[in-house]
Structure 1
Amino acid sequence: MTILTLRPKNQVTVPKDIAEAAGLHVGDALDFTVVDGAVVISKVDGQRTLAPRSRTGSPRPTTSASVTESS
C-alpha cells in the first residue's frame, strides 16, 4: 500500500514505481471515479491531455495502452 497526501490544490504525485507498473506517462488522460468510497483512477485508452515534450522541445510520439487500477 502506498499512502499519498492530497496537496492544497487537490493534487497528488503518482510515485514512479506505480506509474511504471500502470504504464502511465506524462500527458496521459486519467479518469477518476468513486466506488464504495474509494477513488479509482483509470488510464483513458488512447487519449492524452497534452503532448509530452522531449528534452529538445520536440513532441514525443504518443502510445496508447489500457490500464485500470482498482482496489
Structure 2
Amino acid sequence: MNIVYIALGSNLGDRKYYLTRAVDEIEKRIGEIISLSAFYETEPWGFISRYPFLNAVLRVDTEHDAIS
C-alpha cells in the first residue's frame, strides 16, 4: 500500500462543488481516502486574480505507484 497526499484547489465557479467532486473521483479511481482537511479560502499566490481559491489536501491509500 502506498500513501499519497494530494493538494486540491479551485478559484472559479462553484469551488466547493468542484473540490467535492474531485474528492469523489479520487476515491473512485485512486484509492481509499484516509483523511481530508477542511476547505480553506486563500488569496492567489504567484499571479494576480480577483478570485480567491478554495483549497484542501487529502491522504489516499492506494495500490498505484508513482510511475503508473
Larger RCO: 1 or 2 (CA < 8 Å, sep 6+): 2
Q: Same fold (TM over 0.5)?
A: no
Specify which structure has the higher proportion of helix. Answer: 2
Specify which structure has the higher proportion of strand. Answer: 2
TM-score, with length taken from structure 1: 0.25
TM-score, with length taken from structure 2: 0.25
